[in-house]
Chain A
Amino acid sequence: GNSVTQMEGPVTLSEEAFLTINCTYTATGYPSLFWYVQYPGEGLQLLLKATKADDKGSNKGFEATYRKETTSFHLEKGSVQVSDSAVYFCALSVMGGTYKYIFGTGTRLKVLA
């Protein structure tokens, strides 16, 4: 079956630190991969996505590369800010009839000034 595994949080970093949130997946077929972010009191927002192997998604300084050989889609940012504090969800979707998301458990990031 399809599943997403992401690292448990919370992750606490100092401002300007390097961020990595690990995400691995299992899927039948060729999934698209996503990172969503949820800021306090808001809905999930698409942060970035990649639709095929070796694609790199990037947005707001965050990036993730679709690695088929390691079935991974790790989220990285070179220098985090306090405003990046949020919950980050890794997700996949597999086309074919029903377009459904499979989410990871979410990782809470807290950035300290």
Chain B
Amino acid sequence: GAVVSQHPSWVICKSGTSVKIECRSLDFQATTMFWYRQFPKQSLMLMATSNEGSKATYEQGVEKDKFLINHASLTLSTLTVTSAHPEDSSFYICSAKTSTGPVKGYTFGSGTRLTVV
């Protein structure tokens, strides 16, 4: 079946530094990937939709200059949290939509727990 690999699974960084999270589709091509964020005791919230080869579409209230999304190939999307601050500490998870083949639907990565100290 379709597998999405997300890396790292957890990361601790210092305030002011940048962190990159990778989301890879291992056995299928993903023209569209989604990035979600979950704060403690809150819902998973969609942050942005990334399409291969084009700019990401950000949800209202999400700073595109702070959360840089790159989807340069059909198997890789990255989310970079720039100049991270403690309030960016959260659980980030990606999902991918297949573009071709028998696999349909949306597959999620295992998530990344970001802690900014």
Contacts and interface: CB of A to CB of B under 8 A. Distances in A.
Interface residues of A, number: 20
Contacts, number: 46
A104 B41 CA distance: 10
A101 B46 contact: yes
Contacts of B42: 105
Contact of A43 (B6, B43, B97): B6
B108 A45 contact: yes
Given A41-B9, A43-B6, A43-B110, A105 B93 contact: no
B contacts with A: majority SS: strand
Interface of A: 4, 8, 36, 38, 41-46, 89, 98-106
Given A41-B110, A45-B108, A105 B4 contact: no
A79 B43 CA distance: 27
B117 interface: no
Contact of B109 (A43, A89, A102, A105): A43
